[in-house]
Chain A
């Protein structure tokens, strides 16, 4: 009897002393295998940053984070299924999704569920802090990126522009938005041709001949890297120099200078994050992580992933701090609180990945630079420009 009393007393003591170690689950999905797997460093980066925290700091405010990384395979029904799993079964507090299509299809559901959702898409249709307060993206939209490139051209006195884009949402959407906004004319430029190509085209000689015929000052390509490769390769065939071409953030890939060699010199892209390997604090963190773990993708997209990880971790940490050091037990409150903290991020230090930013506009950093391929490497050219 006495032992029972002592035992009960001990149990009660334990129960009321330690904080309840509720689990933090973050769900992230991307195209691990599929057409745009080339840029899935973004998904790996987020997972790896959170794992890095788990390994070096015991998680967020002492709580380990459970990270789930799933493969959306760039198929809508797969992505929708994963979302439901993450929202319901896995009880994720933050979800990091991938495609523009899925982000659009899930628009309303995300708000109803009240789960903070970061999308890899840069489409402006996904971004609307008022209508979709739970949806965030991580950087300037495709349209803003395009405008930066066009602005750059206008200041240099260029006039004629050709817009090339793939025949899918990723290609057409932003080009449509920019065209309709009239900003091209406002900058004093003229669109001399719109060239749409198959999203998995393997040969663009015909398109390059067409472009050459229009004699443009700039060719902006809104497409995926494999096709940019094909375009530059075929441009070289018809003696169209690479320096006429500008791509968006997703076209920063070592594959381009590697595979094309001198034909890639002069190709420019819009750059919104620091390069992998730049001398910044975030890179030191990655190097620490790399000592004990395998880093799957060593590219700028991984850096983006690392950045998103930081944003997620920072918001969660603030929530825990404000909650007396405890992880909220009600998932709905937890999610709402994290969303509020994400929005409240001000002058957020990203360890050098981007200039410090405020997340109130749900975009984060809207600054970008132009990067150019020089001697087989991407090098930043000029300063950070504000996209807005």
Chain B
């Protein structure tokens, strides 16, 4: 329990730090901060499902999209801050729908059904013109909080970092309760879970509900910060991106979701800047993508438990044999040391 309190406060400190940086920085830096924060919320929601509960899903992109459209529609209708709540709720509901087949289908088959859900929802985004404005995209007015419109990138950075912190703390807390522990047991073995008296179906549905809420929140923030919700942004590519984030960061690790989100969002930009030293413009983009692909493969081959585990390994080597090295993915809130070490490197 000590570790938990410690990581909570470290997380709080980091959140405050980033919020301040985001508020004072120029627009580009503020943008990067909230882009990472929004992706991190999405990564957390996905990790909840895949990492903590073992349910493989490809529908993340579409669920984020549901949140984006819901948030945008409600925002345009004047719901203010509540539109984000609405975005989360719609995300949760759709997520449950997508998850229903999980009650009857096994792993791989369920995963394929989520693939179908992704494509079908993508199609619906384009077709349901009266709601989504179809392929033209839904123009979203600025988020209005407590009557004031949120106009600047810096303000959005603060809001997104705050919401990220709250999401992280909330999910962390859930994982400490029986509900969260049930997720972990179901992931390891449904048979054992049943033997322990856990209602597997209910547990899975709860996981989908929770995951969907945060996916929806991610989408809502996305809509308000881009001022446009268009179908092309929520296709399978987004699912792949966020899955890459949690794999690179660490499956089943809260800190890993954040670290992975930062990595996957910022790495292409870093390569881009490096690549601008090259003469040819289209080669830069090609190399960015190649690097992305290779990194995914390398991580999965060499350190499948992600950056967080890598950091712990390096940390353990530095501190000597007496330091405890947490075990694979069953740890709930990760060691604060790893978090702060990673984040310091991030800065």
Contact = CB atoms under 8 A, between A and B. Distances in A.
**A and B are interacting partners:** yes
Given A71-B284, A173-B136, A76 B233 contact: yes
Given A108-B227, A172-B134, 13 more contacts: A32-B285, A37-B282, A71-B285, A76-B226, A80-B226, A88-B27, A104-B139, A105-B226, A106-B227, A167-B135, A171-B135, A172-B135, A172-B136
B26 A89 contact: yes
B28 interface: yes
Contacts of A172: 134-136
B318 to A, nearest CB: 36
How would you classify the secondary structure of chain A's contact residues: helix, strand, loop or mixed? helix
5 closest pairs, A vs B, by CB? A105-B228, A33-B285, A88-B27, A32-B281, A88-B26
A91 to B, nearest CB: 10
Contact of B227 (A84, A87, A105): A105
Given A76-B228, A76-B230, A77-B233, A33 B31 contact: no
A164 to B, nearest CB: 15
Nearest to B38: A77
A81 B151 CA distance: 16
A168 interface: yes
Interface string B197-239: 0000000000000000000000000000011101011000000
A366 to B, nearest CB: 23
A27 B284 CA distance: 17
Contact of B282 (A32, A84, A85, A125): A32
B189 to A, nearest CB: 39
B86 to A, nearest CB: 21
Interface in A38-84: 69-71, 73, 75-77, 80-81, 84
A295 B130 CA distance: 45
Interface in A4-36: 32-33
Contact of B281 (A69, A112, A168): A69
A167 B126 contact: yes
Interface of B: 26-28, 31-32, 35, 126, 134-137, 139, 151, 153, 226-228, 230, 232-233, 269, 281-282, 284-286
A30 to B, nearest CB: 9
Nearest to B289: A33
A383 B168 CA distance: 65
19 contacts: A32-B281, A32-B282, A32-B285, A33-B285, A69-B281, A70-B281, A71-B281, A76-B230, A81-B28, A81-B31, A89-B26, A105-B139, A105-B227, A106-B227, A109-B227, A167-B126, A169-B136, A171-B135, A173-B136
A88 B31 CA distance: 11
Interface residues of A, number: 31
A292 to B, nearest CB: 14
Contacts of B32: 81
B137 A101 contact: yes
A169 B151 CA distance: 26
Nearest to B227: A105
Nearest to B269: A81
Contacts of B282: 32-33, 37, 71
B244 to A, nearest CB: 15
Contacts of A169: 135-137, 230
A151 B64 CA distance: 44
Given A77-B226, A169-B137, A173-B136, A84 B31 contact: yes
A219 to B, nearest CB: 21
Contacts of A73: 285
B246 to A, nearest CB: 19
Contacts of A32: 281-282, 285
Contacts of A84: 27-28, 31, 153
Given A77-B226, A105-B227, A168 B26 contact: no
Contacts of B230: 76, 101, 169
Nearest to A81: B31
Contacts of A109: 227
B228 A104 contact: yes
A89 B28 contact: yes
B267 to A, nearest CB: 14
Interface string A94-128: 00000001001110110010000000000001000
Could you say which of B135, B282, B286 has the most chain A C-beta atoms within 10 Å of its C-beta?
B135
Nearest to B231: A168
A316 B27 CA distance: 25
Contacts of A173: 135-136
B139 to A, nearest CB: 6
A323 to B, nearest CB: 26
